[in-house]
């Protein structure tokens, strides 16, 4: 009940996690570990074949490694959505993963543009952090006349600044994904009536609806222009 939240929501959520959902956490971590083991084996085989066999074998193992890498990233995304669904509904890992995939695929049109915009803003934040850090390092090195070569220190500063920015802003990226999934679940389970009111903020709902209307109108204009171009025939050239 959003009108009667717990006094300590974080501690309450952690207690529910350790009391009811340890198996869910273990199962998700186990899947990622199982998918990481073949990648390590393939890299060991690739290093062995690098000096003994030709390019065909190395290319085959590299393609297999890339496939396992893509599958690992996909499973990480599935794990994240499954954990969020478990926190919402209290279901087990497999049921939560299935529900999350179904809800995400059903409401993908609502989140595509918003998610891309959020990812772009997070990437822009990382770039700004790196630029300001490098600028500060450049100003600091400018006052240090003993240092002759600035390139390597500035590259190291930029690298570590990006690592720190990525570590912190990835938390916001995870929060955005969880927020959009909660929004989709709220749309699935509630209808905004007095019996089933929305849990989301009304301003956020209006923002998403406005973005969807803009995208729908843009897609409709593109379809109309495409039909107009298809119905237009080129006339003969008269000289």
User: pLDDT at position 145, please?
Assistant: 65
Q: Final residue of a domain: which of 105, 139, 161?
A: 105
Q: Are 113 and 132 in contact (CB under 8 A)?
A: no
Q: Final residue of a domain: which of 74, 105, 136?
A: 105
Residues 4 and 97 in one domain: yes
Residues 112 and 198 in one domain: yes
Residue 236, in any domain of the structure = no
Domain that holds residue 129: 107-231
pLDDT digits (tens, 9 = 90+) for 156-190: 888 999 999 988 888 888 888 888 888 888 877 87
Mean pLDDT of 137-163: 80
User: pLDDT at position 128, please?
Assistant: 92
Give me the number of domains the chain comprises. Answer: 2
pLDDT digits (tens, 9 = 90+) for 94-129: 888 888 888 888 777 667 767 777 788 888 999 999
Residue 171: count of CB within 10 angstroms of its CB? 9
**Sign of the four-CA dihedral 182, 186, 187, 188:** positive
pLDDT digits (tens, 9 = 90+) for 25-35: 888 888 888 88
CA distance 185 to 224: 33
What are the helix and strand counts (H, E) for the chain?
Answer: 7, 0
pLDDT digits (tens, 9 = 90+) for 48-92: 776 666 677 777 777 888 888 888 888 888 888 888 888 888 888
- Look at residue 234 and tell me whether its pLDDT is greater than 60: no
Mean pLDDT of 195-213: 75
* Nearest CA-CA partner of 213 in 119, 115, 116, 110: 110
Residues 41 and 125 in one domain: no
Q: Final residue of a domain: which of 105, 121, 144?
A: 105
């Amino acid at each position: 009940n959003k009108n009667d939240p717990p006094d300590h929501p974080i501690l309450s959520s952690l207690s529910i996690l350790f009391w009811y959902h340890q198996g869910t956490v273990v199962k998700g971590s186990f899947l990622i570990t199982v998918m990481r083991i073949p990648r390590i084996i393939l890299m060991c085989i690739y290093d062995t074949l690098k000096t003994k066999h030709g390019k065909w074998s190395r290319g085959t193992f590299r393609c297999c490694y890339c496939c396992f890498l893509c599958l690992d990233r996909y499973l990480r995304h599935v794990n994240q959505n499954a954990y969020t669904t478990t926190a919402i509904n209290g279901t087990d890992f497999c049921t939560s993963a299935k529900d999350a995939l179904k809800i995400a695929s059903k409401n993908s049109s609502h989140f595509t543009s918003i998610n891309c915009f959020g990812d772009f803003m997070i990437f822009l934040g990382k770039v700004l952090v790196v630029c300001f850090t490098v600028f500060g390092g450049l100003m600091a090195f400018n006052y240090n006349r003993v240092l002759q070569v600035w390139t390597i220190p500035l590259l190291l500063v930029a690298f570590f600044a990006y690592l720190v920015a990525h570590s912190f802003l990835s938390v916001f990226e995870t929060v955005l994904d969880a927020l959009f999934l909660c929004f989709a679940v709220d749309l699935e389970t509630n209808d905004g009536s007095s019996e089933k009111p929305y849990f989301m903020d009304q301003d956020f709902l209006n923002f998403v609806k406005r973005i969807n209307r803009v995208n729908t109108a843009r897609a409709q204009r593109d379809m109309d222009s495409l039909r107009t171009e298809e119905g237009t025939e080129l006339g003969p050239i008269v000289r």
